[in-house]
Structure 1
Amino acid sequence: MPLKQLSLVLVAVCALSACGGVDPDSPLGQRKAIFKQMLKTSEDIGGMLRGRLPFDGPKFAEGAVKLEALSHEPWKHFPPVKESEHTSARDAVWQRQARFQELANALEARTGELVIATQQLQLTPAKMIPPMNNVEDACDACHKEFRDH
């Protein structure tokens, strides 16, 4: 294939591959970014409880505060009408908004309880496992009903 044709093919492939990207400023892009931050934070503090990372009480408490703040953010980026077919959210998010909001509120409450636990209980893995499990259960409950895996 001559160089000119090869160049045109490469440009076309690059252009088409860019079409699959998500606009980071769109509601979908915004909530995906927040959910990624939540996952990273949860994995870090959960890793401390499961021995993948050394337990550091102050870092765990800092992570709990960050996770609690993030837990309030993604919901405002779910518009009233589904905006994209390229989402992991099931149609039920928009069809059963009251239930979706109920589970969002549950996650917010569980992350708040985790922060309170870091302030009131001794910062040890044994003491932090139950409130962290509650956070993870709240995440799982919403994913089971509203996320395409």
Structure 2
Amino acid sequence: MNAKTLLIVVTACLGLAACGGVDPNSPLGKRQAIFKDMLRTSEDLGGMLRGRINFDEQRFATGATKLDQLSRQPWQHFPQVQEGDADSAARDEVWQREERFQTLVRELEASTGQLASAAQARPLTAQSVAPLVQKVEDSCEACHKEFRAY
């Protein structure tokens, strides 16, 4: 393949790659960004409890507070009426069973609030917060099982 042909192929591939994706300013883009930040934060907390990352009291407490703040944000980006978001991982049931969805949202917010409060106590140990992290993880999983399309 000569250089000119290669340049055309690379340019075409880059052009096609730029066409797709989610608008970061759309409701879908905003909630996906928050959910990704929640995932990164919770993975760090879980990593400290499971020995993948060294347990650090201050870093854990900061992460728990951040997770609590994040857990209250994505819901405002679920429009009242379902939009035609082909890239969304939300099932139709989010809009069809809104009361149940809101119940699970409140359970997550309560569990992250408990974790953030407990993480302020000193000395802070992995053993003292492990059940609360598990409760947060269980809250996430419960909502995903009912409302997330994999």
When normalised by structure 2's length, the TM-score is 0.89
Q: Is the 8 A contact 1:48 1:55 kept in 2?
A: yes
Which digits, 9 at most, give the CA deviation of each residue in 1:89-138, with x for residues without a partner?
11111111111111111100000000111124641011010111000000
Q: Is the 8 A contact 1:61 1:115 kept in 2?
A: yes
Look up the SS of the partner of 1:99 in the other structure: helix
Matched, 1:31 2:31: yes
Aligned residues: 149
Distance 1:4 1:117, change over 3 A: same
Instruction: Return the letter of the residue paired with 1:89.
Output: A
Look up the SS of the partner of 1:98 in the other structure: helix
Matched, 1:51 2:31: no
Distance 1:45 1:4 in 2: 50
Distance 2:6 2:34 in 1: 39
Structure 1 residue aligned with 2:73? 73
- Give structure 1 stretches of 5+ with no counterpart: none
- Give structure 2 stretches of 5+ with no counterpart: none
Distance 1:27 1:142 in 2: 19
Q: Is the 8 A contact 1:68 1:111 kept in 2?
A: yes
Instruction: Return the letter of the residue paired with 1:137.
Output: D
What pairs with 1:1-149 in structure 2 (closer than 5 Å)? Answer: 11-83=11-83, 84-120=85-121, 122-149=123-150
Shift of 1:11: 4.7
Instruction: Return the letter of the residue paired with 1:70.
Output: L
Shift of 1:6: 6.9
Distance 2:72 2:89 in 1: 19
Q: Is the 8 A contact 1:45 1:60 kept in 2?
A: yes
Distance 2:49 2:10 in 1: 47
Q: Is the 8 A contact 1:22 1:28 kept in 2?
A: yes
Distance 2:108 2:27 in 1: 20
Instruction: Return the letter of the residue paired with 2:59.
Output: K
Among all aligned residue pairs of Structure 1 and Structure 2, give the percentage whose two residues are the same amino acid: 57
Distance 1:93 1:55 in 2: 36
Shift of 1:14: 3.4
For the aligned residue pairs, the C-alpha RMSD in angstroms reads 1.9
Which digits, 9 at most, give the CA deviation of each residue in 1:31-68, with x for residues without a partner?
11001100000001110000000000111011000000
